[in-house]
Structure 1
């Protein structure tokens, strides 16, 4: 039964990744050895199946087995200063340490919230990569400037894909884990005006089951979404890019706290802009999660990628 659920969500994610007008095939990692190609005709005259396409860089593998959703509360008026540091130094500095920065975003509903996503192949790589970056020259050069923008950086969820194949499409090949040397110069002055925006809008929806710490309830919610929710959302114009649940493994880099004792199910959807999201909401109808016991209404984060974000809308 779980394999069927995984196949359903994987196929739905292929639709969300931009192949809604094409026939779909079994994801290679889910195809039984004796299975014939499974085709789901979304239109009567769909062309031949094509490989999964990343909304960021084209054909790619799934990322990541471990994901951090990081939401920072900043001092008033300081978000653009942090974005400038992040886009120019922190993303590439982390990639050089072997980390994967999926994307960094402005929260469209809170001018003092900065949100970003960071991925790892496993928990061991997380510990190694974080130690390399935070002990390396890029962070050492700019940490005081970055920390000066922040009120709180501990709102962090450690996640794993809800089921096989529900992670983000890989964002980019990562360079060898060699930190830049020598240490870079102090940050340049901000250019006039705010840093430019990227393209598209990512919507993260956080569902909190009741009881709040019940990991099994979060997984049940994820399975129900794959079965009942994702097809409805895609049909309404809300492509589903990825789905995650809380990762129960202990935080193996305690220098950076994460939220513990919580169970969360999170979906990520892509839209061209806020107007497209509003049109989707008008067509989606009754929320799919009605009938499930939640701690409260889902949290919705409308996120606009920065110009330096790896994730950009596939539009």
Structure 2
């Protein structure tokens, strides 16, 4: 599977407008093209952001599904309203799952969902295996997918190598001493699933 981790910067106060529009118009219509809308999140520490994840069986399917969705009726009808909430949509990582099935057993349900802590580790090339210890207690782990972005209409962050970990709860779990394999400081985010997020 190929995953996109997408983090948008929004206009002040626009997040609830985008979440409502997204949950009403862009979940089923993406799924109809073969896209799996995995998770939708609000970052409580950054109220003018929206983070979400979608998945594709492979890069060829990704190209076909994105083409179908962005030329389809739902996007054509609601694109202007969606774009009106957005400042920047280019903070996108192309990822593949590693070490364990992503978010196994954490889908569905209703009511208040526990938050997720997302950590993005910039890592040295070829060092992903060193991060196997981070899978303990994790909800999902990913690494950079280095395939060429064949859907150039939507940029992704290229030339980077990351290890991405999701854990449940607000507290930061212990991290083994891996500084020698990092190329910069990790980025930390505290994410709360939206009402219709598949991952809860």
TM-score (norm 2): 0.91
Partner of residue 258, structure 1 = 156
- Consecutive unaligned residues in structure 2, runs of 5 or more: none
Partner of residue 134, structure 2 = 229
Which one has the bigger strand percentage?
A: 2
Partner of residue 183, structure 2 = 295
| Secondary structure of 1:203 counterpart | strand
Q: Distance in 2 between matches of 1:289 and 1:209?
A: 13
Partner of residue 102, structure 2 = 167
Structure 1 position 291, deviation (Å)? 4.2
Q: Distance in 1 between matches of 2:199 and 2:142?
A: 17
For the 8 Å contact 2:142–2:163, the answer to whether it is kept is: yes
Q: Distance in 2 between matches of 1:130 and 1:309?
A: 20
Which structure 1 residue ranges, 4+ long, deviate > 6 Å from structure 2? none
Let me know the Cα RMSD of the aligned residues: 1.9
Q: Distance in 1 between matches of 2:62 and 2:106?
A: 17
Q: Distance in 1 between matches of 2:4 and 2:103?
A: 12
For the 8 Å contact 2:103–2:199, the answer to whether it is kept is: no
Spell out the pairing of 1:237-252 with structure 2 (5 A cutoff): 240-252=138-150
Partner of residue 165, structure 2 = 267
Equivalent residue for 2:20, pick from 84, 87, 95: 84
Partner of residue 88, structure 2 = 152
| Secondary structure of 2:26 counterpart | helix
**Closer/same/farther in 2, CA of residues 262 and 291 from structure 1, 3 Å limit:** closer
Number of equivalenced pairs: 197
For the 8 Å contact 1:209–1:263, the answer to whether it is kept is: yes
Which one has the bigger helix percentage?
A: 1
Spell out the pairing of 1:13-32 with structure 2 (5 A cutoff): none
Equivalent residue for 2:119, pick from 201, 205, 208: 205
Q: Distance in 2 between matches of 1:143 and 1:289?
A: 45
- Consecutive unaligned residues in structure 1, runs of 5 or more: 1-64, 173-196, 235-239, 272-276
Structure 1 position 290, deviation (Å)? 3.8
Partner of residue 42, structure 2 = 106
Bigger Cα Rg: 1
Structure 1 position 171, deviation (Å)? 8.1
| Secondary structure of 1:304 counterpart | strand
**Closer/same/farther in 2, CA of residues 105 and 229 from structure 1, 3 Å limit:** closer
Partner of residue 6, structure 2 = 70
